Structure 1
Amino acid sequence: MQRGGKARGRRVRVLFLSHRLPYPPLSGGAIKRWKVAEYLGRNYDLGVSVLCAPEDLPHKQDFLRRVSLVQFSETLISRPRSLLNLLRSGSRGLPLAVYRNDAALFKAQVEKAATFFDVLYLDSLLVLPAVPPMFGGKIVLHAHNAEYMIWRRYAGREKNPVRRAAVLLEGGRMRRYEALACQRAGRILAAPHDQTFLCGLGVNPEKFLDTFHFGDETLLARPDVAFSETEPALLHVGSLDWEPNLDGLLWFLEKVWRGLKQKHPQLRFYILGQGGGERLRAAARGLAGVRMTGFVEDLEPYHRRCRLFVAPLRFGGGMKVKIINAMYRGIPVLTTPIGAEGLETADGRHLSIAGDAAKMLRDADHLLRDAASWTCMRDEARQHARERFDWERVYGPLRKAIEE
């Protein structure tokens, strides 16, 4: 395959496979999905085959208008998380997340389309079942995270022995499947810290190319917010159905919020995002100042109002786009060592990184009061994000994975 997007004198043909429509770019994974699809459409003959959840369908035409494609197909699927589906996935030896995205129609569409393409780009390992066994071109796998490590860390936090055993069982299935996906791929795009974990599965390190999970870089163009323009308020943005987010918020409300509220009686905590269920609502019920708003499309009023962003993750994987977006916008961030993974940041300079509740409370109290420290962290975070979280760092390795 020649450089410059050419294969035997023509443009390289890339088939993008995903378990979600790559639009709209409203969350971390969705932003990366969209930016990659947009880039591939500009530089190659791009086809897209996707599994669509019902909520994706209203955005289909917007996506088709915004990206240049030579082929498109979608398969509607709605297979919920349930005990029955967990048992069915276990009977097939598949992780539940993979089983929920395994559809015969999707496989048939991909098999038919793949004969016309040079490269299959797998947006995640969830679409591996659709890869034709006899496909003779290049397979590029995008590893969003070292998935098995998320399950391992989750098990380490689980106190209920029955739930812990179930988590370990599911984590074992994911570990085996993740190793299979990496073995099948010719090239693997993964964040540097995730590559270390994936090498632990026996993956050839020469397959890896660095990738990163960045956010909405247009936030860098917005003017600085002054300390005096903010109010004593905390902000969290993210899917509340994702267990690492939910676990972290439950921990924060129990271990940090009450003490912080005593020091700052006017403090408010805005929790933005869909989901959460009864566990989070029960924890927030009766806590003065806690506001669960649901999904909010325009975050700018909250970015300008809230003095601190909170991402109290105790397990998870990959680079946390919600933190990067807060840094782009200049909102000082309270997080944990897990939240800061892969960001190349220094505690007290770019972020507050707390390994325990006592330090997180102290740091939050200080930043809520001290305008000079707050302003310094705002400026350092924005400059670091401007220098390090540039999408060109994603496109170069992506181009190499496809063309070389």
Structure 2
Amino acid sequence: MTTVIAFILMFGLLVFIHEFGHLIFAKRAGMLAREFAIGFGPKIFAFTKNETVYTIRLLPIGGYVRVAGDDPEIIELKPGHHIGLEFNDEGKVNKIIVNNKSKHPNARVIEVEHADLDHQLLIEGYEIDEEDHKLQFKVDQKAFFVMDEQETQIAPYDRQFASKSVGKRAMQLFAGPMMNFILAIVIFFILGLIQGVPTEQAIIDEAQSGTPAAEAGFQHGDEIVQIDGKSISTWEEFTKIVQDNPEEELNMTVKRANGETEEITVTPAKQESQGITFGQLGVTQMFEKSFTGTFKYGFVQTYDMTKLILTNLGMLITGQLSIEALSGPVGIYDVTDQAVQTGFNTFLMWTAMLSVNLGIVNLVPLPALDGGRLLFVGIEAVRGKPIAPEKEGIFHFIGLALLMLLMIVVTWNDIQRLFL
């Protein structure tokens, strides 16, 4: 149960932060954000504030911000429609009753001849059975459609996504991934405050029981200064040599915490992960408390994590990594369970890594992702005009279908790894 709660909280935080970025920059650009949703499927909880409906939905597999203009408008008034109109104190239409007009006895019922709710904000028509006298009504910019007693705010063109400049649209799309990177920085900063930051030198905090390091006699505070005659000044140099030499004997010069120097011979154990073989000693790095170092740690760790994920993504594209190395929801849940069992700090580290991963994946120029939509905005900036919405829609539809297929394959691989 602890893992389930941790997984839901972690997933909810990642999705919330991502979609919050989209929402904030949509509102800053003057776009009408119709809905901010966590999850998909039927609504579990909803409330409305400042034009936006905030919802939690049944299936915890993502989230979205629905901006006016992203999809075709829900209701279109056509000639011949019978609608009811209610007015505000300024005499402008503030409610357009689409059906169930009998429930609104004060509404003025007309037959529509022409309606422009994008630019001119007017409705023209006739009283029922009085076609010899055309009427014209101004519509308030924040008027509502009322259909099945559900209110939906109209979206004039200047409140729609497509009406905004290329820069504002690009920023609104980029804001989601950007917030995931910011979240990772904040989490690493918190980690630095809790546990300290790793020292740059190759200083050992602990030799874990039953590992080559413990058997060789490594102790708390040992600093590795030489390996096979090569000087070592950083933890990265130390770990790279160890990882590059599985089952190879290494002669290390160690400076003890008391200042004495000793020679230790150790053979890294052979480990394998995602088809990659590497050496491992079983030691943890020394940490120290430093506010300045903690601030730097948040940015450095996020940068290093980004570089690692991009490297693996490149290897996946070039075929150096198999698609079997990818994990879906099942695999992520399994690793989350391991992280929870290990401890709170490991769980935070895992959350930060997933946040970076979510930011990067969403920036990949694939259909239906933020990166795919940014690609079309970029093409528009170069061409000077947008690609036809119908063509872009087909592109995203096909891409979404392929992504769903990939998700099925990845989930099946996760299940095989866990149960078969």
Scaled by the length of structure 2, what TM-score is found?
Answer: 0.23
Higher helix share: 1
Larger Rg: 2
Higher strand share: 2
Higher relative contact order (CA 8 A, sep 6+): 1
Scaled by the length of structure 1, what TM-score is found?
Answer: 0.24
